[in-house]
Amino acid sequence: MGPGFAYDEIVPAIERIVRAYLALRQEPAETFLAAVRRVGLEPFKAALYEDEGARDAA
Q: Which of 12-16, 21-25, 50-54 has the lowest mean pLDDT?
A: 50-54
| Burial degree of 48 (CB within 10 A; 0-12, 13-18, 19+) | buried
User: Does the pLDDT of residue 55 top 50, yes or no?
Assistant: no
What is the pLDDT at residue 50? 82
Domain segments of the chain as ranges: 7-57
Report the phi/psi class of residue 31: left, alpha or beta, with left for phi > 0 and alpha for psi in -120 to 50: beta
Give residue 30's pLDDT band: very low, low, confident or very high (50, 70, 90). Answer: very high
